[in-house]
């Protein structure tokens, strides 16, 4: 469960970065 939460958090962070880069 810890690994799933870690992967989900990393994926969410990467998605946010992509959105910020796209907007910028």
List, in sequence order, the alpha helices (H) in the chain: 2-23
pLDDT in tens, 1-24: 688 999 999 999 999 999 999 987
Q: Which two tokens stand for residue 14?
A: 């990467």
Report the distance separating Cα 21 and Cα 4, nearest Å. Answer: 26
CA atoms within 13 A on the CB side of 22: 6
pLDDT of residue 17: 98
Q: Model-level pTM?
A: 0.60
């Amino acid at each position: 469960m810890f690994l799933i939460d870690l992967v989900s958090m990393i994926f969410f962070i990467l998605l946010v970065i992509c959105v910020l880069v796209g907007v910028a």
